[in-house]
Amino acid sequence: MGRVDTQLLPGPLQKAVDGFRRYLEGECARSAHTVRAYLSDVESLLGFAVQEGVQELRQLELGSLRRWLGAQSEAGMARATLARRAATARSFTGWALREELIETDPAVRLQAPKRDKSLPGVLQQQQVSRMVDDLNTAAADGGPMALRNRAMVELLYATGVRVGELAGLDIDDLDPDRRTVRVLGKGNKERTVPFGVPAAVAVDDWLRRGRPAVVGATSGPALFLGVRGNRVDPRQIRAVVSELLQALGDTSATGPHALRHSAATHLLDGGADLRAVQEILGHSSLATTQIYTHVSVDRLRKSYQQAHPRA
């Protein structure tokens, strides 16, 4: 079941959707992208329930929730998406219970298929070096976009920040003396992340020789700019990194998140403390960071099997 036109929802249900939107935007301070995703899921759920005769939230039952997920599963929806939609449904009905729009929470016992436990794509350190060498070669000509691309990739790998966090950086978020950057993450949580000398050199080169060549009236304080002087768009960053990874030719890693995965894994491989990596990545839960220990163990196991004579 896809997104349902909210104009088809009965008044009480539409009122609940509007209230949930205000809750997400206000109390939760969710990003616009996250709010849209949550509302799309809720509208899909309520649209399905309306087809089953539900006219107000108090009529919503566990059976409808299960049939809603079941219909999507039969349509071939990925388990990860089903798990996300089930989580959204639980958030929505939990909010409705607190707001006394319903007397009991029908989603308490709602379950969805478990997510596939796939490990994230990770670059080898030699592959990162090759990618940086390509960026240095391109930047040698001094073109502003080549300088920008090198600085963006160096900073992505050095800090492990998300692509949206990188796009949102302003110049004064940098502390060149301490080699740290102030990052505004999910839920408007701020953290300070260190970076190394190569990233510092690349960013400084961009600020001195690249950014002044494209800065314009609409640039504002944005650290990274597009060719027309506007703040760089996350899609532009994804395109740059995807092209670089494709050029390597010997990795399954794709997109900017591969650099985040790689940074975390290489930190742990180098002996970094798990909680320090959690702080750097901005994870609210240590359990999220622990997947990178699995990556490290998996890499260790492969190395052992290849190298040990009795493996």
**Known catalytic residue at 292:** yes
Q: What contacts 294, CB < 8 A, 6 or more positions away? A: 119
Catalytic member of 36, 130, 186, 299? 186
Do 255 and 242 touch, CB atoms closer than 8 A?
Answer: yes
Comparing CA positions, the residue from 134, 172, 170 lying closest to residue 154 is 134
**Known catalytic residue at 38:** no
- The three-state secondary structure class of 52 is coil
Catalytic member of 148, 150, 211, 283? 283
Comparing CA positions, the residue from 5, 3, 39, 40 lying closest to residue 21 is 39
Catalytic member of 85, 148, 260, 266? 260
Do 224 and 166 touch, CB atoms closer than 8 A?
Answer: yes
Catalytic member of 85, 148, 162, 231? 162
Q: What contacts 239, CB < 8 A, 6 or more positions away? A: none
Placement of tokens 């939760």 in the chain = 28
Q: What contacts 138, CB < 8 A, 6 or more positions away? A: 146, 149, 150
Do 311 and 304 touch, CB atoms closer than 8 A?
Answer: yes
**Known catalytic residue at 257:** yes
**Known catalytic residue at 109:** no
Q: Six-digit token pair at 120?
A: 């994230």
**Known catalytic residue at 66:** no
**Known catalytic residue at 186:** yes
> Which residues are the active-site residues?
162, 186, 257, 260, 283, 292
